Amino acid sequence: MSEDEHAAWLEGVLADPDRQLLVCELDDAPIGQVRFDRLKEGRFEISVSLAGEARGRGLSSRLIALAVSYLRESSPDAVVEAHVRPGNHRSLAAFQAAGFRQASESAQGGFLILALSAE
Protein backbone atom coordinates (compact mmCIF):
# COMPACT_ATOMS: atom_id res chain seq x y z
CA MET A 1 0.00 0.00 0.00
CA SER A 2 1.42 3.37 -0.98
CA GLU A 3 1.62 6.26 1.46
CA ASP A 4 -1.27 8.00 -0.31
CA GLU A 5 -3.40 4.84 -0.20
CA HIS A 6 -2.64 4.40 3.49
CA ALA A 7 -3.52 8.04 4.22
CA ALA A 8 -6.85 7.63 2.40
CA TRP A 9 -7.56 4.39 4.31
CA LEU A 10 -6.76 6.05 7.65
CA GLU A 11 -8.94 9.06 6.84
CA GLY A 12 -11.84 6.69 6.06
CA VAL A 13 -11.32 4.73 9.28
CA LEU A 14 -11.27 7.87 11.41
CA ALA A 15 -14.40 9.24 9.72
CA ASP A 16 -16.42 6.03 10.10
CA PRO A 17 -18.84 6.29 13.06
CA ASP A 18 -19.04 2.47 13.25
CA ARG A 19 -15.28 2.04 13.65
CA GLN A 20 -12.93 2.95 16.47
CA LEU A 21 -9.15 2.86 16.08
CA LEU A 22 -6.94 2.85 19.16
CA VAL A 23 -3.17 3.32 18.96
CA CYS A 24 -1.41 1.51 21.78
CA GLU A 25 1.78 2.80 23.35
CA LEU A 26 4.30 1.49 25.85
CA ASP A 27 6.82 3.91 27.35
CA ASP A 28 5.65 6.61 24.91
CA ALA A 29 6.36 4.43 21.86
CA PRO A 30 3.61 3.00 19.63
CA ILE A 31 3.51 -0.80 19.84
CA GLY A 32 0.27 -1.64 18.06
CA GLN A 33 -3.33 -0.88 17.29
CA VAL A 34 -6.77 -2.19 18.18
CA ARG A 35 -9.78 -1.60 15.95
CA PHE A 36 -13.42 -2.11 16.84
CA ASP A 37 -15.97 -2.43 14.04
CA ARG A 38 -19.65 -2.25 14.98
CA LEU A 39 -21.37 -5.28 13.48
CA LYS A 40 -24.80 -4.29 14.79
CA GLU A 41 -26.10 -2.47 17.83
CA GLY A 42 -24.27 -3.74 20.89
CA ARG A 43 -21.95 -6.11 18.97
CA PHE A 44 -18.40 -5.33 17.84
CA GLU A 45 -15.58 -7.15 16.07
CA ILE A 46 -12.11 -6.57 17.49
CA SER A 47 -8.95 -6.57 15.39
CA VAL A 48 -5.49 -6.38 16.96
CA SER A 49 -2.09 -5.77 15.45
CA LEU A 50 1.10 -5.70 17.50
CA ALA A 51 4.43 -4.39 16.19
CA GLY A 52 7.03 -7.11 15.60
CA GLU A 53 9.34 -5.80 18.29
CA ALA A 54 6.51 -5.95 20.86
CA ARG A 55 5.56 -9.56 20.16
CA GLY A 56 6.48 -12.44 22.41
CA ARG A 57 6.38 -10.30 25.56
CA GLY A 58 2.90 -11.26 26.80
CA LEU A 59 1.42 -7.88 25.85
CA SER A 60 -1.37 -9.01 23.52
CA SER A 61 -3.88 -10.25 26.09
CA ARG A 62 -3.31 -7.16 28.26
CA LEU A 63 -3.75 -4.92 25.23
CA ILE A 64 -7.00 -6.71 24.32
CA ALA A 65 -8.34 -6.42 27.88
CA LEU A 66 -7.49 -2.72 28.11
CA ALA A 67 -9.09 -2.00 24.73
CA VAL A 68 -12.29 -3.84 25.70
CA SER A 69 -12.41 -1.87 28.97
CA TYR A 70 -12.11 1.33 26.93
CA LEU A 71 -14.94 0.26 24.60
CA ARG A 72 -17.17 -0.60 27.54
CA GLU A 73 -16.86 2.93 28.92
CA SER A 74 -19.19 4.01 26.09
CA SER A 75 -20.91 0.65 25.45
CA PRO A 76 -21.11 -1.19 28.80
CA ASP A 77 -23.26 -4.05 27.44
CA ALA A 78 -21.14 -4.62 24.32
CA VAL A 79 -20.52 -8.13 23.09
CA VAL A 80 -17.10 -8.27 21.47
CA GLU A 81 -16.08 -10.96 19.02
CA ALA A 82 -12.78 -11.87 17.41
CA HIS A 83 -12.46 -13.76 14.12
CA VAL A 84 -9.29 -15.86 14.30
CA ARG A 85 -7.82 -18.42 11.92
CA PRO A 86 -7.68 -21.85 13.63
CA GLY A 87 -3.93 -22.13 12.98
CA ASN A 88 -3.12 -18.78 14.57
CA HIS A 89 -2.28 -20.28 17.97
CA ARG A 90 -0.72 -17.12 19.42
CA SER A 91 -3.76 -15.03 18.60
CA LEU A 92 -6.13 -17.70 19.95
CA ALA A 93 -4.11 -17.87 23.18
CA ALA A 94 -4.08 -14.07 23.58
CA PHE A 95 -7.85 -13.77 23.16
CA GLN A 96 -8.50 -16.73 25.46
CA ALA A 97 -6.20 -15.21 28.11
CA ALA A 98 -8.27 -12.01 27.83
CA GLY A 99 -11.46 -13.99 28.58
CA PHE A 100 -12.76 -14.75 25.08
CA ARG A 101 -14.34 -18.16 24.45
CA GLN A 102 -15.18 -19.91 21.18
CA ALA A 103 -18.75 -19.08 20.19
CA SER A 104 -18.92 -20.55 16.69
CA GLU A 105 -17.09 -21.10 13.43
CA SER A 106 -17.53 -18.83 10.42
CA ALA A 107 -19.10 -20.48 7.40
CA GLN A 108 -17.07 -18.11 5.22
CA GLY A 109 -13.30 -18.14 5.47
CA GLY A 110 -13.03 -20.83 8.14
CA PHE A 111 -12.46 -18.43 11.03
CA LEU A 112 -13.15 -19.34 14.63
CA ILE A 113 -15.38 -16.77 16.28
CA LEU A 114 -14.48 -16.06 19.87
CA ALA A 115 -16.75 -13.89 21.97
CA LEU A 116 -16.57 -11.90 25.17
CA SER A 117 -19.98 -11.07 26.58
CA ALA A 118 -20.75 -8.09 28.77
CA GLU A 119 -20.23 -8.92 32.42
For residue range 87-116, list pLDDT tens digits in order: 999 999 999 999 999 888 776 678 899 999
What are the beta bridge partners of residue 20?
A: 36
Nearest to 20 by CA among 2, 39, 6: 39
The pLDDT of residue 81? 94
Give the tens place of pLDDT for each residue, 39-81. 988 899 999 999 888 888 888 999 999 999 999 999 999 999 9
Q: What element of type H or E holds 4? A: helix 3-15
pLDDT band at 36 (very low <50, low <70, confident <90, very high): very high
Nearest to 92 by CA among 50, 57, 61: 61
For the entire predicted model, the pTM comes to: 0.86
The parent domain of residue 40 ranges over 3-116
Give me the CATH number covering residue 64: 3.40.630.30
Q: Domain total for the chain?
A: 1
